């Protein structure tokens, strides 16, 4: 095989497979669940389920009305301990296979040498390799290449610049009191200001206390992206009132801004291999199909292409 180095600016690997600790509990504040439609991805998920890593949370969500939760037959999978535990599991397997993983490192530029790529980070470290895979949101990947004066041909650049994303504002609340969301513990309201509310205790990842995750819809998030945290948290907490019985005490709350939360215009293929003197691949959940499954399949296909290219 080939030596692999992964650099992630987050405190842990995973990106939007993100789980926050608050008080004695945990809350998923990025991706809330994942579905499976592709046979290849289903094989991986079946193994994770057998090993107890993931479980079926539900097969549909209520809109918060009195009607039953819609059931479309597709299981929604959650991860024991929170969504980030899946990323940690995969990272552990890579480390066992010899990969080097660096977190809390922000890449500031990527340059192309005569025979290798070089990526420099904010600590002054540099990483070199024969091939480069970029999986951040595409605008961030392009900014890294621009910082290193790496040019792309007009076809590749145009294809990448067509990809767009919607933001998401997220509130996490540690609450004490009676909160009753419809089974299995979440509501989903596409197209509204508050598009998602989930009870992480009912979900099974915060057994000792109630942590609530609130996601704003794309349009609301775009309009209010720079609003003060306190203002947004007050609005999000007010949206929980219909599900509360009696007095609710708030122990803590936190706001998370996801600038590139949801791909809205996708690249049609699972990845883009740039026309470059050195191997350069772009991938992620904006390639082929969005969400967790799309990101996973993009990574698998890029890995296959990289092996075929490098031998």
CATH code, domain carrying 215? 3.90.660.10
Q: Where are the beta strands (DSSP E) in 80-193?
A: 100-102, 107-112, 117-121, 126-129, 132-134, 164-179, 186-188
Number of domains in the chain: 2
Q: Domain range for residue 57? A: 5-162+266-310
Helix axes 291-310, 39-50, angle to 10 degrees: 110
105 is written with which tokens? Answer: 């490192």
What own/partner pairs with CB < 8 Å and gap ≥ 24 does 53-61 have?
Answer: 53/79, 53/80, 53/85, 53/86, 53/89, 54/78, 54/79, 54/80, 54/86, 55/80, 55/204, 57/33, 57/184, 57/185, 57/203, 57/204, 58/183, 58/184, 58/185, 58/186, 61/182, 61/186, 61/187, 61/188
115 and 181 part of one domain:
no
In this structure, the answer to whether residues 20 and 94 fall within a common structural domain is: yes
| pLDDT one-digit tens code per residue, 213-248 | 999 999 999 999 999 999 999 999 999 999 998 889
Give pLDDT, residue 70.
Answer: 55
Residue 82 sits in the same domain as residue 194: no
pTM value surpassing 0.85? yes
pLDDT 10s digits, 48-76: 999 999 999 999 888 765 444 555 568 99
**Residues 119 and 132 reside in one and the same domain:** yes
Cα of 144 vs its chain's centroid, Å: 20
Contact assessment for residue 34 and residue 86, using Cβ atoms and an 8 Å cutoff: no
Burial of 244 (0-12, 13-18, 19+ CB in 10 A): middle
pLDDT score of 66: 44
Positions in the chain whose pLDDT score sits under 50 = 66-68
The pLDDT value recorded for residue 246 is 84
Look at residues 244, 263, 282 and tell me which one is the last residue of a structural domain: 263
Please tell me the predicted confidence (pLDDT) of residue 199. 98
Which CATH number fits the domain that encloses residue 125? 3.50.50.60
What is the predicted pLDDT for the residue at 57?
Answer: 96
Q: Both 180 and 39 in a single domain?
A: no
Same structural domain, 141 and 276: yes
Residues 87 and 202 reside in one and the same domain? no
* Whether 297 and 195 share a structural domain: no
80 and 98, same structural domain?
A: yes
d(Cα 272, Cα 156) in Å, to the nearest integer? Answer: 8
Residue 177 in tokens: 């009191």
Q: Are residues 247 and 286 in the same domain?
A: no
Residues 200 and 113 in one domain: no
């Amino acid at each position: 095989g080939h030596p692999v180095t992964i650099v992630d600016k987050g405190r842990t690997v995973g990106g939007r497979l993100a789980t926050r600790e608050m008080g004695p509990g945990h809350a998923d504040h990025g991706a809330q669940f994942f579905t499976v439609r592709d046979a290849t991805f289903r094989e991986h998920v079946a193994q994770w389920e057998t090993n107890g890593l993931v479980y079926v949370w539900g097969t549909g969500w209520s809109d918060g009305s009195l009607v039953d939760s819609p059931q479309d037959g597709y299981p929604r999978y959650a991860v024991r301990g929170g969504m980030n535990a899946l990323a940690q599991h995969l990272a552990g397997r890579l480390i066992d296979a010899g990969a080097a993983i660096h977190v809390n490192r922000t890449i500031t530029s990527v340059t192309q040498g005569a025979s290798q790529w070089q990526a420099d980070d904010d600590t002054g470290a540099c990483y070199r390799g024969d091939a480069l895979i970029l999986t951040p949101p595409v605008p961030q990947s392009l900014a890294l290449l621009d910082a290193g004066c790496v040019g792309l041909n007009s076809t590749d650049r145009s294809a990448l610049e067509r990809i767009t994303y919607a933001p998401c504002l997220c509130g996490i609340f540690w609450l004490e009191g009676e909160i009753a969301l419809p089974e299995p513990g979440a509501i989903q309201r596409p197209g509204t200001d508050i598009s998602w509310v989930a009870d992480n205790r009912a979900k099974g990842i915060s057994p000792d206390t109630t942590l609530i995750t609130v996601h704003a819809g794309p349009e609301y998030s775009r309009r209010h992206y720079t609003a003060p945290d306190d203002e947004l948290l007050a609005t999000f907490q007010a949206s929980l009132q219909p599900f509360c019985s009696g007095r609710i005490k708030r122990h803590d709350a936190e706001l998370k801004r996801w600038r590139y939360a949801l791909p809205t215009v996708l690249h049609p293929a699972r990845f883009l291999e740039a026309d470059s003197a050195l191997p350069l691949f772009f991938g992620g959940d904006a390639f082929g199909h969005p969400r967790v499954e799309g990101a996973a399949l993009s990574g698998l296909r890029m890995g296959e292409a990289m092996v075929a290219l490098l031998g």
